[in-house]
């Protein structure tokens, strides 16, 4: 996950901070970011494990990365993934960056995240 968000992408939304008591189920299950959208997960405390998948149907990860406190991980557009909180005190948030021309529709997470496995 040593990706760089292109400099011309714009910050479109930020989540609130999550811990084990309020992390959305969608983040813990198979999902992806929409076309033209990067996600940047920043861990403030604890650690998060990122599991990447080759597509929406395959449940066998093709990558696993641990993101520790003080660091962040970047998920590229349309990469299927899920996360797991590794410590009881994990505390993190996610910022989303999109192409300036991206036509983002939907509300909340639905603007930037897709949980329907039949879509990309």
User: What tens digit of pLDDT does each residue of 26-39 get?
Assistant: 999 999 988 899 99
Name the β-bridge partners of 38: 97
Question: Rg of the chain's alpha carbons, rounded to an integer?
Answer: 13
Do 38 and 76 touch, CB atoms closer than 8 A?
yes
Domain spans of the chain? 10-99
Do 86 and 48 touch, CB atoms closer than 8 A?
yes
Q: What is the pTM of this model?
A: 0.85
Residue 82 is predicted with a pLDDT of 96
Residue 120 is predicted with a pLDDT of 45
Do 73 and 40 touch, CB atoms closer than 8 A?
yes
Low-confidence residues of the chain: pLDDT under 70: 1-2, 103-120
CATH architecture for residues 10-99 = Sandwich (2.60)
Residue 3 is predicted with a pLDDT of 83
Phi and psi at 103, nearest 5°, equal: -95, 90
Report how far residue 40's alpha carbon sits from residue 23's, in angstroms, rounded to the nearest whole number: 16
How is residue 6 written in tokens? Answer: 């292109």
How is residue 22 written in tokens? Answer: 């309020």
Q: Is the dihedral of CA 89, 31, 76, 109 positive or negative?
A: negative
């Amino acid at each position: 996950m040593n990706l760089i968000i292109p400099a011309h992408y714009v910050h479109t939304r930020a989540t609130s901070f999550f811990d084990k008591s309020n992390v959305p189920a969608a983040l813990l299950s198979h999902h992806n970011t929409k076309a033209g959208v990067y996600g940047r997960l920043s861990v403030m405390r604890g650690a998060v494990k990122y599991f990447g998948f080759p597509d929406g149907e395959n449940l066998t990860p093709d990558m696993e990365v641990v993101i520790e406190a003080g660091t962040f991980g970047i998920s590229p557009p349309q990469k299927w993934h899920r996360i797991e909180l590794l410590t009881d005190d994990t505390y993190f948030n996610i910022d989303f960056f999109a192409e300036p021309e991206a036509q983002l529709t939907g509300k909340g997470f639905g603007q930037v995240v897709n949980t329907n496995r039949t879509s990309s």
